[in-house]
Structure 1
Amino acid sequence: MKFATKTIHSGYDSSQHSKSVMPPIYQTSVFEFAEVGEQLPFSYARTGTPTRAALESCLASLENAKHGLAFASGMAAIDAVLRATLKPGDEVIAVADLYGGAYRLLTKVMAPTGISVTFVDLTDPANLSAAISARTKLVWLESPTNPLLNLVDITALSAIAHQHGAVVAVDSTFATPYLQNPIDLGADIVVHSATKYLGGHSDVLLGLVAVSDDKLFADIKFIQNSAGGVPGPQDCFLTLRGIKTLHLRMERHCDNAEQVAAFLRDHPKVEKVFFPGFVDHPGHAIARQQMRRFGGVVTIWLKQDTRAEASRVASKLQLFALAESLGGVESLVNHSYTMSHGGMPPEQKAALGIREGGLRLSIGVEDIEDILADLAQALAD
C-alpha cells in the first residue's frame, strides 16, 4: 500500500465499528465486563481505547514499524522513551542542537536521577565513535534539527550505536513519515510531536512513538500505561483526521518553503538562510539520501542581530503568527532564542548559533505570492 493510501486507510477497519467511515470517538473511561476475569481488548481508557488504537496502528503503518504508541504530548512521548531505555548510571548521548524542551528534560529531569547526559555534534559520525562507551544505552537524534536544520546520518550513527549495544531514537517531527522513515534507515525508535505536521491544524496536543522491536515496545508501553501520559479520544480523532491529508499538505509546505528560502537568501536584511534544500547546505547530501524532500521550515539570521529587530519583523508579519509551534496549515514565526529554546543557557545557545536576531519560519500552505509579499513588507524599513 502506497503512503497516500496508508494515510487514509491504515489502522482502521470500519466493519468493527458499525461501518462508520471515520473512526468513532469513544468518549468513555471504562468498558463493561460480561463476567469476572473476562479478557477484553479494552477495559480502561488509560490502557487503551479503540480511537487511540486506530491512531497507533496508523502511525506504525506510516513509519513501516510494527507498533505505535500515543501520548498526551510530544514531551510525554520523549519522557516515556527515556524512562523505558535508561536507568541510573546509564548515559544518553544526544545531538547537540536539539529542541529546547528535550534539552530541559534531559538536563533538569533525567540528569538529577543519576543518568549521564552528553551532548555531541553528531553531524560527523566520527564524533559518536569517539564519545560512545559501555555506559551509553541511548543515542538521541533529531534530523533535521530545531531550529538550524542540521542533518545527521541516521544510518551511519545507528550502525555505530548498535555496535556498542545502544538504542537509537530519532525525533523526526520536522520530517514527518512522509519525508523520512528512520526505522528503515536503521534507528530503533521514532518520536513525533503530532501537535505539528501530523495533526496539521494547530488544534491538538499529542505525541507519537513508533517501534518494531517487541521488547522496546513492551517497555515503552509499560511506561505509557503506568505513568498515564495518554491522549484523550478527541485528540486522537483530530490527529487521525489530520493524517488523512498529510501527503497533500507536505507537498505544499515543501513547495512554498523552497520559494521562501530562495527569496530570503537574496534579501538585503537577511544574513543567512538555513534550508537543507540548498546545495551548499552542509547536510544537503544527507538530506537527499534519507529524505524525500527538504521540509517546510526555513530559519534565518537577520543582519541586525538583535532581539529588537527580530521583534520588529515578527510583529509586522500579517500572515505569520508569532507562536511556539510549527507545522500547521497557517504560517508561523518563532523567536527560538526566547521561545522554543528559552530554557537553554545563553552560552549554550551562543555555541549552537541560536541568536537573538534569528527567526524560525514554519511555512504554511497559503498562496506563495501572499507569503512572499508578507515577508517583503515585514522586512522593509
Structure 2
Amino acid sequence: MTDRTLRPGTLAVHAGEEPDPTTGALEPPIVLASAYAFASADDAAAQFRGEQDGWIYGRWRNPTVESFERKIAALEGAEATVALASGMAAVNGAIASCARAGEHVVAPRSVYAEAARLMREVLPRFGVETTFVDQTDLAAVEAAMTERTRIVYAETPANPNLVCTDLAALAELAHARGAVLIVDGTFATPWHQRPLALGADLVLHSATKAICGHGDAIGGVVSGSRDRVTEVRRIGVRAMGGAMAPNTAAMLARGVRTLGLRMDRASASAMELARRLEEDRRVARVWYPGLPSHPQHAIARAQMTRGFGAMIAFEVAGGLEAGKRCHDAVEVIARAVSLGDVRSLLTHPATTTQASMPREARIAAGVTDGLMRFSVGIEDVEDLWEDLDRALPSS
C-alpha cells in the first residue's frame, strides 16, 4: 500500500495486509508454527539479544497475529497494537504494564464487572489498590488521586448503562498528576471513537465484541505508543502468557474488514430504537449517547464520530419482574451476554454481567434491578422494533 492517507473504511479492509510474497495470496496466510528456525548459532544469539529481527517463538511473535495488530493500530491512529487472548487479558496486561506494588488506580463506578473484580479483589494481592468514583465528576476523580496514583482507568461509553466520560479533560487531569490514562473503548469501537487522539495513553478493546462482530472468536487488543505497547506485550503476552492464537487473529481480521458497514447499520438502528423506546410509556428510562436526554450527550457528540454506537440501556416500567417478562418474551432478539454481534442481543445485567458486583456497588454504578442492556445488530430495524413492542409488558 502507498503512504498516502486512507480513510477508516479503507484501512479496515487493507491495513496490515499485503499479498503473500511467495504465492500472491490476498488473504494473509495463517501461520501455525510454534517455533522458527535459526540460520546459525550466531543468528539465534543475535535474535535473542534483539540485534536482529526474527520470530523465535510463537508466544512472542506470529505473522498472522501481527497482520491483525497492524490493522487495529491503523484504525486507532496508534504507533503499535498488541493482540491478547481475551478482553480481560488486555485489561490485565494494560494495568500490569503501568502499575507496580504500592501504586494506586482510580477507576469509574460504571465499569465492566470483571474489570471491577480484577481491581477490587485481585490487584490488592499484588499491592495495587483501586478507588472507584463517578468519573463524570472530575472533581471527584481529582479528590481520589494521591501521590501513589499511577493509572486513571476509564470506560466510555460504560458497561452497561452508557455513562460517557470526557476523555480530553480526564487525560489532562491524569497527566498533570503524573498518571497514565487507560481507556476501554469496547462499546464505541475504533469506528466511533479514538481515545488516543483525545489524550489517552493506552486504549483497549474486547475484540470478541464488535471488532469480531460474528460471535465466534475471543480476543483483546491494546494500542498506544510503541514503547507502552512493547511493555504490555512483554508482561501481558510473554510473561503472563495471554497470547492470541493465529486462527483467532485471522477471524478477527476478517471481522474488522466489515466493521464500518456493521457499525453504521447498527448505530443508525440503535438511534431509531432509542427514540421509540424513550417515547414508549412502558419504558421508564432510556440511556443512549445519541439522545439529547442522555446526561453526557454533549460529551458524546464532541468525542464520538460517525454515530453513537450499537448499545442501548433501558429500564422497563414496573421494575425487576416487568424487565424479566420483557427479556423472556423477545423472539428475534437473542437472550445472551456479549455484544457487538451481527445478531441483536438482550441482557439483564443485574443477574448476569454485573452479578459479581456487590449489590450496593452495582446500584451506586446505576445498574438497577430492572436495567436491560440491548446490543443492536444488523437486522431490519422494523423487525427489531416489532419484537420489542410485543415483548414490552402492557402493564
TM-score (norm 2): 0.94
Q: CA deviation at 1:102?
A: 0.4
Matched, 1:75 2:88: yes
CA distance in 1 between partners of 2:273 and 2:264 (Å): 14
Q: Per the alignment, in what secondary structure is the counterpart of residue 169 of structure 1?
A: strand
Q: Given that residues 17 and 23 in structure 1 are in contact (C-alpha distance below 8 angstroms), is that contact kept between their aligned partners in structure 2?
A: no
CA distance in 2 between partners of 1:350 and 1:168 (Å): 26
1:380–1:21 distance in 2 versus 1, CA, 3 Å: same
Matched, 1:353 2:366: yes
How do 1:1-381 and structure 2 match up within 5 A? Answer: 1-16=6-21, 18-38=23-43, 39=47, 41-212=54-225, 214-223=226-235, 224-292=237-305, 293-306=307-320, 308-381=321-394
Q: Given that residues 17 and 24 in structure 1 are in contact (C-alpha distance below 8 angstroms), is that contact kept between their aligned partners in structure 2?
A: no
Q: CA deviation at 1:17?
A: 5.5
Percentage of pairs with the same residue: 38
CA distance in 1 between partners of 2:201 and 2:336 (Å): 32
Q: Per the alignment, in what secondary structure is the counterpart of residue 351 of structure 2?
A: coil
CA distance in 2 between partners of 1:95 and 1:295 (Å): 20
Partner of 2:3: none
Mean CA deviation greater in 186-195 or 124-133: 124-133
Q: CA deviation at 1:268?
A: 2.1
Q: CA deviation at 1:280?
A: 2.2
Q: Per the alignment, in what secondary structure is the counterpart of residue 119 of structure 1?
A: strand
1:68–1:16 distance in 2 versus 1, CA, 3 Å: farther
Q: Given that residues 23 and 51 in structure 1 are in contact (C-alpha distance below 8 angstroms), is that contact kept between their aligned partners in structure 2?
A: yes
Q: Per the alignment, in what secondary structure is the counterpart of residue 14 of structure 1?
A: coil
CA distance in 2 between partners of 1:218 and 1:17 (Å): 29
Q: CA deviation at 1:311?
A: 2.4
CA distance in 1 between partners of 2:309 and 2:229 (Å): 28
Q: Given that residues 336 and 354 in structure 1 are in contact (C-alpha distance below 8 angstroms), is that contact kept between their aligned partners in structure 2?
A: yes
1:46–1:12 distance in 2 versus 1, CA, 3 Å: same
CA distance in 1 between partners of 2:120 and 2:151 (Å): 15
Q: CA deviation at 1:358?
A: 1.2
Q: Per the alignment, in what secondary structure is the counterpart of residue 151 of structure 1?
A: coil
Q: Per the alignment, in what secondary structure is the counterpart of residue 59 of structure 1?
A: helix
Q: CA deviation at 1:87?
A: 1.1
Mean CA deviation greater in 69-78 or 351-360: 351-360
Q: CA deviation at 1:42?
A: 1.3
CA distance in 1 between partners of 2:24 and 2:167 (Å): 41
Q: Per the alignment, in what secondary structure is the counterpart of residue 265 of structure 1?
A: helix
Corresponding pairs, count = 379
CA distance in 1 between partners of 2:334 and 2:22 (Å): 39
CA distance in 2 between partners of 1:41 and 1:58 (Å): 21
1:35-71 Cα shifts (integer Å, max 9, x gaps): 2242352121101110000011111111000010001
Q: Per the alignment, in what secondary structure is the counterpart of residue 349 of structure 2?
A: coil
1:80-119 Cα shifts (integer Å, max 9, x gaps): 1111111111000001111101001111110222111001
CA distance in 2 between partners of 1:30 and 1:338 (Å): 44
CA distance in 1 between partners of 2:98 and 2:249 (Å): 25
Q: Given that residues 103 and 150 in structure 2 are in contact (C-alpha distance below 8 angstroms), is that contact kept between their aligned partners in structure 1?
A: yes
CA distance in 2 between partners of 1:156 and 1:129 (Å): 11
- Letter paired with 2:57: Y
Q: Given that residues 151 and 287 in structure 1 are in contact (C-alpha distance below 8 angstroms), is that contact kept between their aligned partners in structure 2?
A: yes
TM-score (norm 1): 0.97
CA distance in 1 between partners of 2:217 and 2:37 (Å): 29
Q: CA deviation at 1:16?
A: 3.7
- Letter paired with 1:232: A
Q: Which runs of 5+ in 1 are unaligned?
A: none
Q: CA deviation at 1:180?
A: 0.6
